[in-house]
Amino acid sequence: MGSTDRKNRGQSLVEFMLVLPILLLLLVGIAEFGRAWMTQSILTGAAREAVRVFALDPAFGGGSGPANLRAAEILASANINGATVQLVDDGVNFGTVTATVSYTFPLAVVGYFAISPADIPLSSSTSMRKEH
């Protein structure tokens, strides 16, 4: 009876070692998906804030205007560096203005193992009617 127990323990160890990489891959995938989802949510918030500021007054737009600065503050508070904010005005009174925030999301684990592609492009766009 002792040799049967030993064989069963060895079989369980082999089965565990076969399942472990799949389990770890699933766990890491869930964590990376959660990080990407959170980053996408932050990009959406930054786009909403930028378009809201710009919709109040067109003088707030531009490269270093308050709308871009507000979006940059939100992105910096989440430690997102390298995102671009683009504001587009249709030029019509009470028309629409659109803010687009783009970011290249680095995958932590995939980048660690130097497997390509290690980045995912994320983007969020928001439009709002101007109040002038």
Ranges of each domain in the chain: 2-129
Indicate the average pLDDT of the chain: 85
pLDDT the model gives residue 63: 56
List, for residues 33-82, the tens digit of each pLDDT value. Answer: 999 999 999 999 999 999 999 888 766 655 567 888 889 999 999 999 99
Query: How sure is the predictor about 131, in pLDDT bands with cuts at 50, 70 and 90?
Result: confident
Query: Residues with Cβ < 8 Å from 13, sequence gap 6 or more?
Result: none
Residue 101 has pLDDT above 90, yes or no: yes
Q: Which of 10-19, 72-81, 105-114 has the lowest mean pLDDT?
A: 105-114
> Band of the pLDDT at 111, cuts 50, 70, 90?
low
pLDDT of residue 112: 61
Compare 13 and 80 and report the one with higher pLDDT.
Answer: 80
Tell which residue, 81, 126, 88, has the closest CA to residue 105. Answer: 81
User: How many other C-beta atoms lie within 10 A of the C-beta of residue 92?
Assistant: 8
